Chains A and B, each alone.
Chain A
Amino acid sequence: MYRLTGVTKRYSRGKETVEALRGIDLTIEDGDQLVIQGPTGGGKSTLLQMIGGLDRPTEGSVELDGVDLARISEAKLTRLRAEKIGIIFQSFNLIPTLTAQENVETALVPLGVKPAERRERAAEALRSVGLGERLGHAPSELSGGQQQRVAIARALVKKPKVLLADEPTGNLDEGTRDDIMALLEGLWHEYGLTFIMVTHDSSIARRAPRLATIKAGQITLTEQHAQNTYVPQGQGQGQGQGQQEPYAGHGTQQGYQAY
C-alpha cells in the first residue's frame, strides 16, 4: 500500500524556485488502479517519480508497505525499484542495440538471476505479450506497439508489486493504444498489480476507476465507478500466433468494448 503524506517537490531554475508538487496526500491500496491526469507541467510525472522512487520529495513522505522511499539509502531504494516496481515509459526507452529478449533481461540483471533463467523468463514474458516470434529482433525492427509490448514485458518479467506507466500510449495511434490498454488491463487483473498510470488521454482517464487530477501541483481525486471497455484492434498481434499469448487477446476474451 502507498501512503503519500504532504509530498512537496521544489526545483530550482537559476534564482527561480518551481513548486511542482504542493503537499500531496494520497493513499493507494494494493491492487488499485489509479490514473493521473492533468495539464502539461501540472506535476503528474513528478508525482509518478516520487511514487516510483526515481526521485525524492523535498518535503513529506512516500511510504510503500511502510517503507519511506524519501528516507531510505540510495542503495536500498535502487534495490526496491529492482524488486517491486515495474515502469513503462512513453517512448518505450528500449536499449537500441539489444534484442527484444535482451531488453527484457535487463530488468532481471540487478536481481542476480542467472543467464539461462534470465533468457527463459524473458522469452516467456515476451510470449505472454504476443511477441514470441520476435525475441531476436532489435527495437528498430519492431513497430511502436510492439516496442511498447517489449517494454511491458520488461516491466513485468520480474513480477513486480507495482506497475507504473508514464503515458504508455502517448506515442501510439488509436488502434494500437487500445491494444496496449487491453493488454495492461488484462495484466492488472491477472497479477493483481497496483497499477498507476499517467496519461493525457481523456478517453483513457474517463474509464479509470479512480482518477487523480493534478493542476499546479495540487491533486483532486475522483472515484468514477467506470468500466474498462478496451477492445484490441489486432495491431501488434498475430506475430505470436501459435505461441502462448495469455494477454494478447485478453480484451476480446473479457468482452471489453471501445466506448
Chain B
Amino acid sequence: MFGIYLKRELGRRKKAALVIALGLALGIALVITVNSVSAGMTQAQDKVLQSLYGLGTDMTVTKARTAPTSNSSGQPRFEFDAKSNDDDTEQSSDRVMTQGGQALKSSLVTKVADQKGVAAAVGALTLNVTKVDGSFTQGKAQSSTSGSGSGQGGPGGGQGSGSTAAPQVQGGGASFDVNSYSVAGVDVTNQDLGPLAGSKITSGTAFTSAQTNAKVAVVSKSYAKENKYKVGKTLKISGTKYKIIGIATPDSSDSTTDVYLPLKQAQTLADAKNQVTTIYVKATDSQQIDTVKATIQKNISGTTVTTSADLAETVSGSLSTASNLATSVGKWLSIAVLAAAFLVAALLTSSAVSRRVREFGTLKALGWPSRRVTRQVVGESIVNGLLGGALGIALGLGAAYAVTAISPKLTAELGSTGGGGGMGGGPGGGGPGQQSASNTMEIALSAPVSATTIALAVGLAVAGGLIAGAMGGWRASRMRPADALRSVS
C-alpha cells in the first residue's frame, strides 16, 4: 500500500513534485560543478607545483638566503680573443653558474635523509648556462691627410680624429648570439625523486645508476625541438661534449629544465664539487609534512625548507583568482542555492500536506497511526529528493563535462615572494629565494567528478527530502482525525 499510494500521489502532483525536484536539482548540480571545478583547480595547482618539484616531492631544502658580499659581483664574465682581419672564425663561450649562486654541501643530503619523518632525500644541482657565440672583425688602420673623421674599431681598435696624418681605425665589429638555458645535475641512483621525476622519457633511455659520472645527457622535449637535438647526437657545454641518450617530456605542460646531466658532471661544470643547490625530500607521511619541515629547519641550520603549501601561496594569476572564486564565491553560492532549494521543498511539501487535510484526517479516522501517515509524507519527499538528486547529478555531470570539454586556459604565475621562498629548479631560473623573477604557466582547467562528490550529491538529495518530509510529516502527524469530519461539516 505504501508504494502504490506513494507512486499515485507523486503522479497526481507532478508539477509540485517537479518544482521541488528541480529546485533540489539546481542546488545539487551547483554543488557538483563547484566541487569538480575546485578539484580541477587543485589538480591544476598540483601540476604547476609538480613542474617545479617533480612528482612525489613533499618539500625542498635550499640554502638560506644571505646578503651578497661586497666583492662578489656575481655577474657573468666572457672572454674572447680578437682575431686577425681576415679571420672570421666563430668564437663561443659558456658561462656556467649555480642557480641563485648559493649551494649546499652534498653531505647535507644524507643528514636530511636521516631526519625523523623523511622517507627519502635526493640532491640536485641546478645551473644556469649562458652561452655567447659569434665572431669579431678587427678594425683597419688607415692613413688620412685631411678632413676629419672617426673610426670605430673593435676591441683592440681605436678611434681617431683630427687633420693630421695619424692612422685611423675603420671597420671592425662583433656579432654575437646569447643563449641561456638551464641544466640540472641529477642523482642517477634515485631518479624517482628530483628534477627528472616530473618527466617521462619519451625517446631513448633514462640514466642508469652506473652513469654517475658519464658524459651523457637527457634533453627536454621542447629544448630538443628548439635546437634540433636527437638521441645519439652530442651536446657541448663549456667545452665538454655530452652524448644525448634520452628525450624527457614533462608531465605538466611546461618543462622546467632544459638539460639533465649526471650530478657529478654538473658539479664539474660549475666547479661546485660536492655541492647541491636543492635537496628534494619525500616525507613518510603526507599528513606530517609541517612537522618534518620544522624538524629539518631546527636540526639543519642555514637552510630554507619549502613545502608545496608554501609554494602554492606564491601562485597568482587567473588560476589563483579562479581557485579563490571557486572556493569562496562558489561554495557560498552552492550553500545559498541549496538552502533555498531545501526551504522551497519544505514549504511546498508543507503546503501539499495542508491541502490534504481531509485525506490524512480520513486515514487517521480509519485507524492509521500518526507514524504511518508521517512515513507516507516523508517517503514521498525522499523520492522527490532522490528524483532531484538524479536530475542534479545529471546536470552537474553535464556542467563538469562541458568545463572539461571547453578546457578554459588559466595562467599561473609562480614567483618568489622575496622572503626566502621559491623553489630550486624553477623553470629558467628562480633560485631558492634569490631572484624575484616569476614564471608563468598556462594550464587547461578540467572538472573531474569524484565518487565522493556523487556520494555528497546523493546525501544532499536525501537530506533535502528528509528536511522537506520532516516538515510535512510533522504537520501531518499533528492533524486530528476530527479534521476529516470538520472539513465537510
Chain A residues in the interface with B (C-beta under 8 A): 45, 48-49, 52, 54-55, 74-75, 78-79, 81-83, 85, 87, 89-91, 93, 95-98, 102, 105-107, 109-111, 115, 118, 154, 166
Q: Which of B204-212, B318-326, B361-369, B422-430 lies at the interface? A: B361-369
In the complex with contacts A89-B484, A90-B488, A82-B5 CB distance below 8 A: no
> In the complex, what residues of A have CB within 8 A of residue B1's CB?
102, 105-106, 109, 115, 118
Q: Is the CB of B11 within 8 A of A93?
A: no
Chain B 265-286 near chain A by CB (<8 Å), digits 1 or 0: 0000000000000000000000
Within the assembled complex, what's the spacing in Å between the Cα atoms of A48 and B367? 16
Fill in one digit per residue for B1-12: 1 if any A CB lies within 8 Å of its CB, else 0: 100110011011
> Quick check: is B230 within 8 A (CB to CB) of the other chain?
no
User: Which listed residue, B358, B365, B368, B486, touches A52 by the CB 8 Å rule?
Assistant: B365
A-B contact pairs, 7 of them (CB 8 A): A81-B365, A85-B367, A89-B362, A89-B484, A90-B489, A102-B4, A166-B485
Q: Are B366 and A45 in contact (CB under 8 A)?
A: no
Q: Give the shortest distance, in Å, between B362 (CB) and chain A (any CB).
A: 4
Q: Known: A45-B489, A90-B488. Contact between A75 and B369, CB under 8 A? A: yes
Q: Contacts of A95 on B, CB cut-off 8 Å? A: 5, 359, 362-363
Task: Note all chain A residues with C-beta closer than 8 A to B339.
Answer: none
User: B488 and A87: CB pair below 8 A?
Assistant: no
Please state if A91 and B488 are interface contacts (CB–CB under 8 Å).
yes
Judging by beta carbons under 8 Å apart, are A107 and B367 in contact?
A: yes
Query: Which of B4, B12, B488 lies in contact with A89, CB distance below 8 A?
Result: B488
**Smallest Cβ distance from A132 to chain B, in angstroms?**
21
Decide if B262 is an interface residue (CB 8 Å cutoff): no
A82 and B12 form a contact (CB under 8 A): no
Q: Are B368 and A55 in contact (CB under 8 A)?
A: no
Residue of B358, B366, B372 contacting most chain A CB atoms (<10 Å): B366
- In the complex formed, the residue of B with least CB distance to A83 is B367
* Beta-carbon contact of B485 and A54 below 8 Å: yes
Residues of A within 8 A of B9 (CB): 97
What 13 additional pairs, Cβ within 8 angstroms, besides A54-B485, A109-B1, A110-B369? A52-B365, A54-B480, A75-B369, A78-B369, A85-B367, A87-B366, A96-B12, A102-B5, A106-B1, A107-B366, A111-B367, A118-B1, A154-B366
Bound state CA distance, A187 and B132, in angstroms?
A: 115
What residues of chain B lie closer than 8 Å to A74, measured between beta carbons? 370
How does the 8 Å CB contact mask read for B439-462 relative to A, with 1 for contact and 0 for none? Answer: 000000000000000000000000
CA distance A87 to B484 in the complex (A): 11
Specify which chain A residues have a CB less than 8 angstroms from the CB of B485 in the assembled complex: 45, 48-49, 54, 89, 166
A81: B residues at CB distance < 8 A: 365-367, 481
Contact, CB under 8 Å: B363 / A106: yes
A93: chain B residues within 8 A (beta carbon): 358-359, 361-362, 484, 488
| Number of residues on chain B facing chain A (CB within 8 A) | 28
Residue in A87, A110, A166 whose CB lies within 8 Å of B368: A110
Bitwise, B369-399 to A at CB < 8 A (1) or not (0) is: 1101000000000000000000000000000
Provide the bound-state CA to CA distance between A117 and B469, in Å.
Answer: 31
User: Which among B364, B367, B372 has the greatest number of chain A C-beta atoms within 10 A?
Assistant: B367
**Least CB separation from A171: chain B residue:** B488
Is B482 an interface residue when CB atoms closer than 8 A count as contact? yes
Closest to A107 in B: B366
Which of A82, A91, A98 touches B367 (beta carbons < 8 Å)?
A82
What residues of chain A lie closer than 8 Å to B368, measured between beta carbons? 78, 82, 106, 109-110
Query: Given A93-B358, A102-B4, A166-B489, are A54 and B366 also a contact pair (CB < 8 Å)?
Result: no
Docked pose: A78 CA to B5 CA in angstroms: 21
Distance of A118 Cα from B484 Cα, bound (Å): 24
Q: Are A97 and B12 in contact (CB under 8 A)?
A: yes
Given A81-B366, A93-B358, CB of A109 within 8 Å of CB of B489: no
CA distance A107 to B486 in the complex (A): 20
Q: Give A52 to B481 CA distance when docked, in angstroms.
A: 10
Pairwise interchain contact A98-B366, C-beta atoms closer than 8 A: no
Please measure, in the bound complex, the distance between the C-alpha atom of A43 and the C-alpha atom of B486, giving whole angstroms. 11
The reply to whether B482 and A55 form a contact with Cβ atoms under 8 Å apart is yes
What chain B residues lie within 8 Å of A91 (beta carbons)?
A: 358, 488
Residues of A within 8 A of B4 (CB): 98, 102
Q: Which of B362, B372, B484 contacts A110 (CB 8 A)?
A: B372
* Cα–Cα distance between A98 and B485 once the two chains are bound (Å): 20
Name the residue of chain A whose CB is nearest to the CB of B11.
A97
Identify the 6 closest CB pairs spanning chains A and B, nearest first. A82-B367, A97-B8, A110-B367, A93-B362, A55-B482, A45-B489
Whole-angstrom CA separation of A83 from B367 in the bound complex: 8
Give the Cβ gap from A72 to chain B, nearest Cβ, in Å. Answer: 14
Distance A85 CA – B365 CA, assembled complex (angstroms):
9
Distance (whole angstroms) from the CB of B25 to the closest CB of chain A: 24
Q: Are A45 and B486 touching (Cβ within 8 A)?
A: yes
CB distance from B89 to the nearest CB of A (A): 99
Chain A CB within 10 Å, residue with most, of B362, B370, B480 = B362
Chain A residues near B482 (CB-CB < 8 A):
49, 54-55
User: Inside 8 A of A89's CB, which chain B residues have their CB?
Assistant: 362, 484-485, 488
Q: Which residues of B contact A75 (CB under 8 A)?
A: 369
Minimum CB–CB distance for B95 against chain A, Å: 87
Q: Is the pair A79, B488 in contact by a Cβ cutoff of 8 Å?
A: no
Residue of A nearest to B4 (CB): A102
**Chain B residues with Cβ under 8 A from A118's Cβ?**
1
* CA–CA, A75 and B370, complex, Å: 9
Q: Once the chains are docked, how many angstroms separate the CA of A81 from the CA of B9?
A: 25
Which chain A residue shows the least CB distance to B5? A98
Mark interface residues in B89-120 (1 if CB within 8 Å of A CB, else 0). 00000000000000000000000000000000
What's the minimum C-beta distance from B364 to chain A, rounded to whole angstroms? Answer: 7
Task: Decide if A106 touches B488 in the complex (CB within 8 Å).
Answer: no
Bound CA span A193–B9, Å: 34
